[in-house]
Amino acid sequence: MYEFLLAAAVEAEREALQRRAHGLTVIVTGAGPAAAATGAAWVLATEPYELAVSVGIGGGFAPRAPIGSVAVSTRVAAADLGADSPGGFLPVEDLGFAPRVDQPDERWGKRIATALGEAGLTVVTGAVLTVSTATGTAERAAQLLERHPDAAAEAMEGFGVASAATMAELPFVEIRAISNAVGPRDREAWRIGEALEVLTTVGQTLAALQAPGVA
């Protein structure tokens, strides 16, 4: 039997994940990469797990990741960690002191994406960008896509959980149920309830994957 550690930002996400899932460990870290890294590292330092998962709702880059779909990471990026300059934004990698963070585990990512598709969800794969300030304009969304053309979704915790998993030498995957399009901030267009329903199916699927007999 595998055991996964799921890290969500808020209680509503944990409730959705565990609504129909038994034996699923979900912690609530708070929002943002620092809170996510601290919360996940605290648990991973004291208990053994097979896989760390950053999971919750998030914004999707249209048309790749429509509202109601679920994004599974092939890459994580700290999209606004870096420096401003007269020539534009400089990512932390270009500054020469990027932290070592392992990328999502390809084998687990493919297994999870396949299982979610078999559960009836619309699954997309790609980069999930971690931001400290959620995107609220079309201009910034375009800038992010220019820097990360493989981007499927945006959230605020993945890079933090990935950092904790890397220190614990544990594989990592990020999963985002898409509640809104990345771009102009329009709360009336958000479909949080629908995304939380998707998370319930995600929870059921992950619980089945960690059950005895799953190879």
What single-letter amino acid sits at 130? T
Tens of pLDDT along 137-163? 999 999 999 999 999 999 999 999 999
Domains of the chain (ranges, CATH numbers): 4-209 (3.40.50.1580)
How far is the C-alpha of 209 from the C-alpha of 215, rounded, in Å? Answer: 8
If one compares 213 and 56, the residue with the highest pLDDT of the two is 56
H helices within 82-133, ranges in order? 92-95, 106-118
Check residue 83 and give its pLDDT.
82
Per-residue pLDDT for 215 more than 60? no
Give the CA angle between residues 7, 65, 99 to the nearest 5°. Answer: 45
Check residue 48 and give its pLDDT.
87
If one compares 81 and 113, the residue with the highest pLDDT of the two is 113
Mean pLDDT score of the chain, rounded to an integer?
Answer: 91
The answer to whether the CB of 144 falls within 8 A of the CB of 37 is no
Dump the DSSP string for 138-190. Answer: HHHHHHHHHH-TTEEEEESSHHHHHHHHHHTT--EEEEEEEEEESSS--GGG-
Sheet strands (E) in 3-93: 4-8, 25-28, 51-60, 70-78, 82-83, 90-91
The lowest-confidence range among 60-74, 86-100, 154-168 is: 86-100
